[in-house]
């Protein structure tokens, strides 16, 4: 029996000090209280980069351009009722003030400390690539 495939996109937003922004999921949502990379579902007919730009505007109140999104790696994870495919992009340039519009909190974290924050299972494989890039 095959599971539904869900495509989501995520961003590793990196500041001038090589820290990565993570966001805490609202407690009332699935996997609430866990930390994640900002992003969200790709709508039918939507390009992943377009979806990520939209999601960053909705979730964090920032704007960026497709040329600022650098693909880094992806995660493929089977949850109980769906299979998640999640490309991760690195973003170093944006406009606006980062504001946790749809999250309980945000935090700037060094790549080697990301493992100290509880994350959804699909995010775990992304951490090694980020550490390699930023350390």
The percent of residues in the chain predicted with pLDDT above 70, rounded, is 99
Residue 30: the pLDDT is 86
Q: What angle do CA 14, 40, 1 make, to 5 degrees?
A: 130
Specify the CATH class of 4-134 in words.
Answer: alpha beta
Residue 135: the pLDDT is 83
Residue 108: the pLDDT is 98
Residue 2: the pLDDT is 82
Assess contact for 33 and 22: CB atoms under 8 A. no
Mean pLDDT of the chain: 95
Q: Which pLDDT tens digit goes with each residue over 28-39? A: 888 889 999 999
pLDDT at residue 91 above 70?
yes
Q: Which pLDDT tens digit goes with each residue over 62-75? A: 999 999 999 999 99
Burial class (CB in 10 A: 0-12, 13-18, 19+), 5: exposed
Average pLDDT over residues 48-61: 97
Domain ranges of the chain: 4-134
Query: pTM higher than 0.85, yes or no?
Result: yes
Residue 112: the pLDDT is 93
Q: Rounded distance, CA 118 to CA 114, Å?
A: 8
Average pLDDT over residues 40-56: 97
Residue 1: the pLDDT is 62
Q: What is the DSSP letter of 59?
A: H
* CA-to-CA dists, residue 59 to 28, 42, 78, 97, 113, angstroms: 16, 14, 25, 12, 23
């Amino acid at each position: 029996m095959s599971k539904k495939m869900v495509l989501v996109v995520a961003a590793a937003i990196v500041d001038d000090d090589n820290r990565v922004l993570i966001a805490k999921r609202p407690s009332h949502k699935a996997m609430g209280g866990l930390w994640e990379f900002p992003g969200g579902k790709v709508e039918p007919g939507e390009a992943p980069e377009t979806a990520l730009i939209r999601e960053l505007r909705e979730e964090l109140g920032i704007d960026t351009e497709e040329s600022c999104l650098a693909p880094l790696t992806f995660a493929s994870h089977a949850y109980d009722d769906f299979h998640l495919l999640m490309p991760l992009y690195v973003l170093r340039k944006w406009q606006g003030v980062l504001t946790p519009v749809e999250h309980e909190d945000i935090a700037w974290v060094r790549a080697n400390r990301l493992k100290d924050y509880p994350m959804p299972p699909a995010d775990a494989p992304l951490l090694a690539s980020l550490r390699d890039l930023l350390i």
